[in-house]
Amino acid sequence: MRYFPTNMRYMETLDAIDRRLLVQLQRDAATPLDALGEAVNLSRNACWRRIKALEAAGVIKGRVAVLDADKLGLGLMVFIMIRTNAHAPDWLTQFRQATRAMPEILGVYRMTGDLDYLIRARVADMAGYDRLYQALIHRVPLSDVSASFVMEEIKDTAELPL
């Protein structure tokens, strides 16, 4: 079994085979072990052991299916910019709980600079955004909220550059 020290950066402990394996898994996590092993020049069992070690080390956080938002009626991507006057720990806890509980919200980021938080969300349409906005301000006091709507997705990937 491969050892990944917890006090070192993972990229320092990954070898070329691990990186090639991760590239393949990012492209299609459902690739059969035989095909993965062939792509990285490992036996099926050696490939399986490396994947399990990468999962145990937290390098692989999970495996998901990438869905087509348009075909599921979620054709509008929105970025919500939030500035707040509240920076107390209890407000942040309330904000975290609220945003994590809303399935339309895909990502929440605390930012540097003029913006406090950036939210990435998927909704069906403008009415769906308004419902999301109303639900958010009902759950958490916010001082300045603005939104930008995606007109065209030029690139959207979860693949990390390895």
Q: Does residue 7 surpass a pLDDT of 50?
A: no
State pTM to two decimals: 0.84
The single-letter code of the amino acid at 158 is A
Domains, the chain, with CATH or none: 10-56 (1.10.10.10), 70-149 (3.30.70.920)
CB 150 within 8 A of CB 70: no
How confident is the prediction for the chain on average, in pLDDT?
Answer: 92
Q: Does residue 10 surpass a pLDDT of 90?
A: no
* C-alpha to C-alpha distance for 157 and 21, rounded to whole angstroms: 18
Helix or strand or coil: residue 110? strand
* pLDDT single digits (tens) 89-109: 999 999 999 999 999 999 999
pLDDT of 1: 43
* pLDDT single digits (tens) 50-94: 999 999 999 999 999 999 999 999 999 999 999 998 889 999 999
Position of tokens 């997705």? 153
Exposure pattern of 131-158 as b/e (b: 16+ CB <10 Å)?
ebbeebeeebebeeeeeeeeeeeeeeee
The single-letter code of the amino acid at 31 is T
CB 101 within 8 A of CB 107: no
